[in-house]
Amino acid sequence: MSTKHHRFDANQIDLNGKTILVTGGTGSFGRAFIRKILGAYDVNRCIVFSRDELKQYQMAQEFPAAPGRPIRYFIGDVRDGERLEMAMRGVDYVVHAAAMKHVPTAEYNPFEFVKTNINGAENVVMAAIRSGVKKVIALSTDKAANPINLYGATKLASDKIFVAGNNLSGAGGCNFSVVRYGNVIGSSGSVIPFFQKLIDDGASELPITDERMTRFWITLEQGVAFVLSCLEMMQGGEIFVPKITSMRVTDMALCMAPDLPHKNVGIRAGEKLHEVMISEDDARSTVELADRYAILAPFLEARNQAYVKMGASPMAGDFRYASDTNTAWLEAEELRRMIADL
């Protein structure tokens, strides 16, 4: 079964007059998110928190601070809890997008990934609680479900930290939730820009890790809209998973370069053939809505009742949301349109 990519409703949340901080704000998601909220809302302030001064300088050329554009650039690292706490003063909402993400790099530099992805998550939680932030939503990855690589393991630990943050903040305190989705089409480090560069450079073949490999795919626009819709819906403690499409990597390569042969180069260390976003064990705590799933925290039963009122349906115990058994598949024509839009 094929389907069009779903367009999530990002228009229900009212960010007018609010102050929003985005960790990792100079990344692909952060730039798209900030472009959206500056264009759609009359926010009080939008704070870009990141550690790379060059990327902040480059971003400031596109989004300069000016009258009517209340954007602020804050140099800092999520490894530094005190700096985070200083940046979060007066902030209403935090979107946590900062992370180290490269799978092979994680296998050789595990301590660095732990410091950023796990210790950084703890720092965000504690700084948000101490600063009186109302809501925090953290970006995760399909690799956090049943992880086999260190990157996925650190993101699973991060997810658990944010869910548990709801116990630390107490009744009436900051709410923490997680968004988990698949590969972002066109983001830095993804396979599409990699293939495109090879094609532009006149490659005679495209490297394929395994012809059976499948992946979930989402656009930056979809990701931003999904995060905004989750920010409005969240009760605290959920892991939100969007209903999105899958595609075989070989089909993606054929779509981009129909005349180029493929060279099987083998799976890299820590890679899976197929990605899972909801495992059978998580299914027991998962409910389904029209355009997404929500993995609920069993210890937050009162908050979970909100999903009953929304008409959410519990999933069967043997449910599994994986890229190879997904019923929604990305068509070649739609992928070509998405690439053209980039």
pLDDT for residue 10 = 67
Q: What percentage of residues in the chain have a pLDDT greater than 90?
A: 75
Q: Residue 335 — very low, low, confident or very high, per pLDDT cuts 50/70/90? A: confident
> In the predicted model, is pLDDT for residue 5 greater than 60?
no
Q: Could you read off the pLDDT of 221-253 as tens digits, one per residue?
A: 999 999 999 999 999 999 999 999 999 999 999
Asked whether the predicted pLDDT for residue 271 surpasses 60, the reply is: yes
At residue 3, does pLDDT exceed 50? no
Confidence of residue 275 (pLDDT cuts 50, 70, 90): very high
Mean pLDDT value of segment 185-207: 86
Task: Give the per-residue pLDDT at 6.
Answer: 62
| Predicted local distance difference test score (pLDDT) of residue 67 | 82
Is 309 part of the annotated catalytic residue set?
no
Average pLDDT over residues 171-185: 92
Which is the catalytic residue, given 18, 55, 135, 143? 143
CA atoms within 13 A on the CB side of 6: 19
Instruction: Please give the pLDDT value at position 171.
Output: 81
Structure confidence by residue, pLDDT tens digits, 203-222: 999 999 899 999 999 989 99
This prediction has a pTM of 0.93
pLDDT by residue (tens digit) across 86-112?
Answer: 999 999 999 999 999 998 899 999 999
pLDDT > 70 in the chain, percent:
96
Give the domains, in start order, of the chain with CATH numbers: 19-185+217-244+279-322 (3.40.50.720)
Please state, rounded to an integer, the average pLDDT across all residues of the chain.
92
pLDDT digits (tens, 9 = 90+) for 50-93: 999 999 999 999 999 888 789 999 999 999 999 999 999 999 99
pLDDT of residue 314: 94
Contact predicate 78/84, CB 8 Å: yes
- What's the pLDDT score for residue 81? 98
Q: What is the pLDDT of residue 7?
A: 65
User: What pLDDT score does 153 carry?
Assistant: 97
Is pLDDT of 1 > 70? Answer: no
3-state secondary structure the chain: CECCCCCCCCCCCCCCCCEEEEECCCCHHHHHHHHHHHHHCCCCEEEEEECCHHHHHHHHHHCCCECCECEEEEECCCCCHHHHHHHCCCCCEEEECCCCCCHHHHHHCHHHHHHHHHHHHHHHHHHHHHHCCCEEEEECCHHHCCCCCHHHHHHHHHHHHHHHHHHHHCCCCCEEEEECCCEEECCCCCHHHHHHHHHHCCCCCEEECCCCCEEEEEEHHHHHHHHHHHHHHCCCCCEEEECCEEEEHHHHHHHHCCCCCEEECCCCCCCCCCCEEECHHHHCCEEECCCEEEECCCCCHHHHHHHHHCCCEECCCCCCEECCCCCCECCHHHHHHHHHHC
Least confident of 7-11, 23-27, 61-65, 103-107: 7-11
Q: What is the pLDDT of residue 164?
A: 96
